[in-house]
Amino acid sequence: MDSASNDRAQLPRNMIENSMFEEEPDVVDLAKEPTLNPLESEEVEYEPRSSRLLVRGLGEHEMDDDEEDYESSAKLLGMSFMNRSSGLRNNVGNYRQAQEGLCPVPSARTVIVSVVVVVILVSIVTVIYLLPKCTFTKEGCHKKTQPVELIYPIATNGQRFPWTKSRLPNYIKPLEYNITLYPNLTTMTFSGKVNIKLNATGNANAIVLHSSGLQDIQANVTLRSGATHNLSVLEYPTFEMIAMVLPETLQKGTECLLTIEYHSNFSTSYYGFYKMSYVKEQNISTWLAATQFEPLAARKAFPCFDEPAFKSTFRLEIKRSEEHTALSNMPKIKTTVLPDGRLDEFATSVKMSTYLVAFIVSDMKNVTKDANGTLVSIYAIPQKIDQAQYALDTAITLLEFFSDYFGIKYPLPKLDLVAIPDIQAGAMENWGLLTFRETTLLYTENSSSLMDKQLITQVIAHELAHQWFGNLVTMEWWNDLWLNEGFATYMEYFALQSKFKDLNADDKFLKARCDAMDKDSLQTTHAISTDVQSPEQIEEMFDDLSYIKGASILQMLNVYLTTDIFHKCIEKYLSDHKYETTKSDGLWDSMNQVVGSSRDVKNIMKTWTQQAGYPLVTVEKKGKEVYVSQERFLRTVNSSKATGNSSTLWHVPLSYIFGPCNGPSENGSFLLNQTQGKIGLPSEPCWLKFNVNMTGYYIVDYGHDGWDALIKQLRSNPTVFAASDRVNLIHDIFVLSGVGKEPLLRAFDLLAYLVNETEPAPIQQALHQTRIIHSLLAKQGFSYLAANLEMRIFNLLRDKIDNQKWTDDGTLSAQELRSLLLDLACMHGDDHCINEATQLFNIWQYNGTRLPTAVKKIVFKVGAHTDDGWGYLYSMYNTSLSEAEKIKMLEGLASTDDGKKLQWLMSASLHGEDIRTQDFPAVIHFISKNVPGFLLAWNFVKQNWDEITQKFPPGSFPIQSIVTKVTANFGTEVYLNEVINFFNSTKGKSRDMWCVKEAIEAIKLNIQWIDKNRDNLNWL
Residues 588 and 499: their CA atoms lie apart, in Å, by 28
AA identity, residue 128 = I
Give whole-number Cα distances, 681 to 307, 321, 620, 627, 714, in Å: 53, 74, 13, 11, 22
Q: What is the pLDDT of residue 126?
A: 59
Residue 988 has a pLDDT of: 77
In eight-state DSSP terms, residue 546 is I
Q: What is the pLDDT of residue 306?
A: 98
CA–CA separation, 235 vs 445, rounded Å?
53
Q: What is the pLDDT of residue 107?
A: 62
What pLDDT was estimated at residue 871? 97
Asked whether 680 and 625 are in contact (CB, 8 A), the reply is yes
Q: How many other C-beta atoms are found inside a 10 Å radius of the C-beta of residue 1016?
A: 11
Whole-angstrom distance, CA of residue 6 vs CA of residue 545: 12
Distance of CA 648 to the CA centre of its chain: 24
Task: Put residue 140 in one of left, alpha, beta given phi > 0 → left and psi -120 to 50 → alpha.
Answer: left
> Can you give the pLDDT at residue 900?
97
Q: Do 236 and 47 meet the contact criterion of CB atoms below 8 Å apart?
A: no
At residue 772, φ and ψ (nearest 5 deg) are -60, -45
φ, ψ at 712 (rounded to 5°) = -60, -40
Using alpha carbons, select from 217, 181, 195 the residue that is nearest to residue 341.
Answer: 181
Q: String of b and e for 974-1005 (b: at least 16 CB within 10 Å)?
A: ebbebbeebbeebeebbbbbbbbbbbbbbbbb
**Which stretches in the chain have pLDDT values below 50?**
4-104, 135-136, 138, 639, 642-644
User: 497-516: b or e for each residue (b if 16 or more CB lie within 10 Å)?
Assistant: eebbeebbbbbbbbbbbbeb
Asked if 484 and 470 touch (Cβ cutoff 8 Å), the reply is: yes
Strand-pair partners of 222: 228, 257
Cβ proximity of 546 and 528 under 8 Å: yes
Please give, one letter per residue, the 3-state secondary structure of 164-223: CCCCCCCCEEEEEEEEEEEEECCCCEEEEEEEEEEEECCCEEEEEEECCCCEEEEEEEEC
Identity at 532, one-letter amino acid code: V
* Contact call for residues 491 and 402 (beta carbons, < 8 A): yes
* Residues acting as catalytic residues: 463
CA distance 590 to 601: 10
Could you give the maximum distance between any two Cα atoms of the chain, in Å? 116
**Averaged pLDDT of the chain:** 88
Written as one letter, the residue type at 136 is F
At residue 123, the pLDDT reads 67
Find residue 535's DSSP bridge partners: none
In this prediction the pTM is 0.86
Identify the sign of the CA torsion 257, 258, 261, 262: negative
Q: Which residues pair with 338 in a beta bridge?
A: 341
Chain centre to alpha carbon of residue 994: 11
Is 744 exposed, middle or buried, given 0-12, 13-18 or 19+ CB atoms closer than 10 A?
buried
DSSP assignment of 924-985, as one string?
A: HHHHHTSTTTHHHHHHHHHHTHHHHHHHS-TTSHHHHHHHHHHHTT--SHHHHHHHHHHHHH
Going by C-alpha positions, the residue among 153, 411, 174 that lies closest to residue 315 is 174
Number of Cβ atoms within 10 Å of the Cβ of 439: 24
Cα distances from 187 to residues 242, 265, 280, 308, 361, in angstroms, run 26, 9, 20, 32, 14
Burial class (CB in 10 A: 0-12, 13-18, 19+), 42: middle
The whole-angstrom separation of Cα 430 and Cα 354 is: 10
Q: Is the peptide bond before 295 cis (omega within 30 degrees of 0)?
A: yes
CA 5 to chain centre: 9
Hey, how many other C-beta atoms are within 10 angstroms of the C-beta on 142? 7
Residues in Cβ contact with 894 at an 8 Å cutoff, skipping those fewer than 6 apart: 902, 905, 923, 926, 927, 930, 933
Name every residue whose Cβ is closer than 8 Å to that of residue 456 and which is 6 or more positions away in sequence. 390, 391, 394, 440, 441, 442, 443, 448
Span between the terminal Cα atoms of the chain, in Å: 44
Q: How far apart are CA 219 and CA 300, in angstroms?
A: 17
Name the strands in the sheet holding 414-420, side by side, starting at the edge strand that comes first in the sequence: 365-371, 374-380, 414-420, 433-437, 427-428
| Phi, psi angle pair for 892, to nearest 5° | -65, -45
CA atoms within 13 A on the CB side of 982: 21
What is the model's pLDDT at position 131?
53
